Structure 1
Amino acid sequence: MKVQGMGMLGLFVVVIFILVRAGNAQLNAFLVNCGSNSSVIVNGRKWIGDSSPGNNITLSSHGIEASSATFNGDPVYAPLYKNARLFIDRLNYTFQVPQGRYFLRLHFYPLVFEHYDANVSYFSVSANGLKLISEFNIPGEIIQKNEFLLGGNSSFSSLVKEYIFNVDTNVLVVDFIPSKGTFGLVNAIEVIPVADNLFAESVKKVGGNGANASLDFGKRGLQTVYRLNVGGGRIRPDQDKEFWRLWEVDSGYMINPDAGSEISNQSAIVYASPNDTSVAPLLVYESARTMSNSQVTEKRFNMSWKMEVDPGFDYLVRLHFCELQFNVSSQRNFRIYINNRTAADNVDLFMRAGGKNRAYHEDYFDVTSPATNNLWIQLGPDSSASAAGTDALLSGLEVFKLSRDGNLAYVQRYGNLELKKSSQTLKLWVAIGAGIASIAIAAAIVALMFWLFRKPRAKDAEGKKTSPGWRPLFLHESTANAKGSLRYQNPSALGTSITGRHFTFAEIKAATNNFDESLVIGVGGFGKVYKGELEDSTLAAIKRANPQSQQGLKEFETEIELLSKLRHRHLVAMIGFCDEANEMILVYEFMANGTLRSHLFGSDLPSLTWKQRLEVSIGAARGLHYLHTGSERGIIHRDVKTTNILLDENFVAKMADFGLSKTGPSLEHTHVSTAVKGSFGYLDPEYFRRQQLTEKSDVYSFGVVLFEVLCARAVINPTLPKDQINLAEWAMKNQRQKSLETIIDPRLRGKYSPESIKRYAEIAEKCLADEGKSRPTMGEILWHLEYVLQLQEAWLRENAEEVTITDSHPLTPLNDDESGAQVPTNLETQGDLDAQDKEGESEHVI
Structure 2
Amino acid sequence: MMKVQGTGVFGILLLLIMCMVAPSVEAQTTSFFINCGTNSSANVDGRRWVGDTAPRNNVTLSAPGIEASTTMFNGDPVYEPLYKTARIFTDTLNYTFQIPNGDYFLRLHFYPLAFDGYNANESYFSVVANGLGLVSEFNVPGEISDKNLNLLGSGANSSYFYLLKEYLFSVDTNVMVVNFIPSKGSFGFVNAIEIIPEGNRLFADAVSRVGANGGSSSLNMRGMETMYRLNVGGSTIEPSDDSLLWRTWEADSSYMINADAGSVIRNRSNITYANPNNTAVAPLLVYETARTLTNTEVMEKRFNMSWKLVVDPDFEYLVRLHFCELVYDKPNQRIFRIFVDNKTAADNFDIYVRAGGMNKAYHEDYVDSISSRSNTIWIQLGPDPTTGSAGTDALLNGLEVFKLSRNGNLAYVETYSNVKVKKTSRSLILWVSIGAGIASIAILAAICMLIVWFCRKKREDNDAKKSPPGWRPLFLHGSVMNSTTNAKGSTSYQNPNGQFGTVRSGRRFTLTEIRAATNNFDESLVIGVGGFGKVYKGEMDDSTLAAIKRSNPQSQQGLKEFETEIEMLSKLRHRHLVSLIGFCDEQNEMILVYEYMANGTLRSHLFGSDLPSLSWKQRLEICIGAARGLHYLHTGSERGIIHRDVKTTNILLDENFDAKMADFGLSKTGPSLEHTHVSTAVKGSFGYLDPEYFRRQQLTEKSDVYSFGVVLFEVVCARAVINPTLPKDQINLAEWAMRWQRKKSLKSILDPQLKGNYSPESLVKFGDIAEKCLADEGKSRPTMGEVLWHLEYVLQLHEAWLRSNAGDSSVSIVEDLGPIHEGESEEVLDAANSDTGTEIKTKEDGESVSRTDRDPMDPMAVGVDEFSQMVNQQGR
TM-score normalised by structure 2 residue count: 0.57
SS at match of 1:244: coil
How far apart are the structure 2 equivalents of 1:757 and 1:58? 62
Q: Select 2:664's aligned residue among 637, 641, 657.
A: 641
| Counterparts of residues 623-772 of structure 1 (less than 5 Å) | 641=664, 645-646=668-669, 709-710=704-705, 737-738=737-738, 754-757=775-778
Query: Alpha-carbon deviation of 1:240?
Result: 0.4
How far apart, in 2, do the equivalents of 1:602 and 1:261 lie? 40
2:193 corresponds to: 189
Paired residue secondary structure (1:755): coil
Shift of residue 108, structure 1, vs aligned partner: 1.4
Q: Compare 231-240 and 303-312 and name the one that shifted more.
A: 303-312
The answer to whether the 8 Å contact 1:331/1:387 transfers is yes
Separation of aligned partners in 1, 2:698 and 2:376 = 26
Match of 1:542 in 2: none
CA contact (8 A) 1:329 1:348 kept: yes
Which residue matches 1:437?
Answer: 437
1:514 aligns with one of 476, 487, 498: 498
Decide whether the 8 Å contact of 2:644 with 2:667 is kept in 1.
no
Q: Using a 3 Å threshold, how does the CA distance of structure 1 residues 371 and 800 change in structure 2: closer, same or farther?
A: farther
In 1: Cα distance, 2:638 partner to 2:398 partner: 36
- Quote the Cα distance in structure 2 between the aligned partners of 1:384 and 1:457: 60
Contact 2:36 2:86 in 1 (8 A): yes
How far apart are residue 282 of structure 1 and its match?
A: 1.2
Pick closer, same or farther for the CA change 1:618–1:142 going to 2, 3 Å.
farther
The within-5 A match list for 1:249-288 is: 249-288=251-290
CA gap of 1:511–1:396, structure 2 versus 1, over 3 A, is same
- Please point out which of 97, 100, 120 is paired with 1:98: 100
Does the alignment pair 1:418 with 2:419? yes
Match of 1:273, as an amino acid? N
1:242 CA drift (Å):
0.2
1:332 is matched with 334
Aligned partners of 1:290 and 1:391 also within 8 Å: yes
| Structure 2, unpaired ranges of 5+ | 1-20, 484-491, 511-547, 569-585, 588-625, 647-661, 688-693, 723-731, 747-761, 783-820, 832-841, 845-849
Change (3 A) 1:25 1:207: farther
Which digits, 9 at most, give the CA deviation of each residue in 1:656-691, with x for residues without a partner?
Answer: 9xxxxxxxxxxxxxxxxxxxxxxxxx9999xxxxxx
Match of 1:128? Answer: 130
Structure 1 match to 2:245: 243
- Residue 101 of structure 1, CA deviation: 0.9
* Contact 2:98 2:175 (C-alpha < 8 Å) held by counterparts: yes
Contact 1:242–1:278, Cα closer than 8 Å, also in 2: yes
CA contact under 8 A between 2:146 and 2:310: conserved in structure 1?
no
Q: CA deviation at 1:227?
A: 0.8
Deviation at 1:193, TM superposition (A): 0.9
Moved more, 424-433 or 369-378: 424-433
Mapped partners of 1:248, 1:228: distance in 2 = 5
Contact 2:44 2:79 in 1 (8 A): yes
Partner of 1:201: 205
Distance 2:148 2:110 in 1: 15
SS in structure 1 at match of 2:309: strand
Q: Which amino acid aligns with 1:331?
A: Q
2:170 & 2:401 partners in 1: Cα distance? 19
Of 46-55 and 272-281, more deviation after overlay is shown by 46-55
How far the C-alpha of 1:146 sits from its partner, in A, is: 7.6
In structure 2, the residue matched to 1:138 is 140
Partner residue of 1:79 out of 66, 78, 81 = 81
Q: Secondary structure in 2 aligned to 1:293?
A: coil
In the TM superposition, what is the alpha-carbon distance from 1:434 to its structure 2 partner? 4.8
* Deviations 1:322-367 (CA, angstroms, capped at 9, x unpaired): 2222233332222222222332233322232222222222222333
SS of 1:197's equivalent in the other structure is coil
Q: What amino acid is aligned across from residue 776 of structure 2 in structure 1?
A: E
- Counterpart residue identity of residue 429, structure 2: W
**What amino acid is the match of 1:215?**
S
Count of residues paired in the alignment: 627
Cα gap change, 1:25/1:255 in structure 2, threshold over 3 Å: closer, same or farther? farther
The answer (yes or no) to whether the contact 1:195–1:278 under 8 Å persists in 2 is no
Give 1:248 deviation, angstroms. 0.6
| 8 Å Cα contact 1:84-1:111 kept in structure 2 | no
Taking a change above 3 Å as real, the CA distance of residues 296 and 557 of structure 1, as seen in their structure-2 partners, is closer
2:180 pairs with one of 153, 158, 176: 176
Whichever residue aligns with residue 213 of structure 1, its letter is S
Counterparts of 1:372-383 in structure 2, within 5 Å, are 372-383=374-385
State whether residues 135 and 412 of structure 1, in contact with CA within 8 Å, keep that contact through their aligned partners in structure 2: no
Counterpart of 2:40 in structure 1 is 38
> Superposition RMSD on alpha carbons, in Å?
6.2
Q: CA deviation at 1:229?
A: 0.8
Contact 1:134 1:411 in 2 (8 A): yes
Partner residue, 2:543: none
Q: CA deviation at 1:736?
A: 6.2
**Residues 340 and 376 of structure 1 are in contact (CA less than 8 Å); yes or no, is this contact kept in structure 2?**
yes
1:289-323: CA deviation from partner (whole Å, max 9, x where unpaired): 12222534563422222212222222222221222
Secondary structure in 2 matching 1:198? coil
The alpha-carbon deviation at position 169 of structure 1 amounts to 0.3
The 5-angstrom pairing of residues 141-152 of structure 1 reads 141-145=143-147
Helix, strand or coil: the match of 1:426?
Answer: helix
Distance 1:560 1:241 in 2: 51
Supply the distance in 1 between the matched residues of 2:298 and 2:397 (Cα, whole angstroms): 20
Q: Paired residue for 1:88?
A: 90
Residues 573-613 of structure 1, C-alpha deviations (whole Å, 9 max, x = no match): xxxxxxxxxx99xxxxxxxxxxxxxx996699895599977
Is 438-447 or 51-60 further displaced after alignment? 438-447
**For 1:226 and 1:712, how far apart are their aligned partners in 2?**
36
1:167 and 2:171 matched: yes
Matched, 1:54 2:56: yes
Of 125-134 and 234-243, more deviation after overlay is shown by: 125-134
TM-score, length of structure 1 as denominator length: 0.59
- Check 1:39–1:145 CA distance in 2 against 1; reply closer, same or farther (3 A cut): same
Q: 1:341 to 1:744 in 2, by over 3 A?
A: farther
**Which sits farther off after the overlay, 222-231 or 83-92?**
83-92
Paired residues of 1:163 and 1:222 also in contact (CA < 8 A) = yes
Is 1:198–1:278's contact at 8 Å kept on the other side of the alignment? yes
Kept in 2: contact 1:707–1:727 (CA 8 A): no
Alpha-carbon separation, structure 2, partners of 1:194 and 1:457 = 70
Residues 708 and 727, structure 1, Cα contact 8 Å, conserved in 2: no
Q: Which residue of 2 aligns with 1:309?
A: 311
- Residue 247 of structure 1, CA deviation: 0.5
In the TM superposition, what are the counterparts of 1:424-573 in structure 2 within 5 Å?
424-426=424-426, 429-430=429-430, 433-434=433-434, 437=437, 512-516=496-500, 519=502, 522-523=505-506, 525=508
Residue 378 of structure 1 and its aligned partner are, at CA, apart by 1.9
For residue 228 of structure 1, report the CA deviation from its aligned partner.
0.8
C-alpha separation between the residues in 2 aligned to 1:268 and 1:64? 52
Q: C-alpha deviations, 1:390-432, integer Å up to 9, x for none?
A: 3322111111121121111111369x6413x423523653476
Match of 2:232 in 1: 230
Q: What secondary structure is seen at the aligned counterpart in 1 of 2:104?
A: strand
- In structure 1, stretches of 5+ residues that fail to align are 1-18, 475-489, 528-550, 572-582, 585-598, 621-638, 657-681, 686-698, 762-798, 840-846
SS of 2:115's equivalent in the other structure is coil
What fraction of aligned residue pairs are identical, expressed as a percent? 43
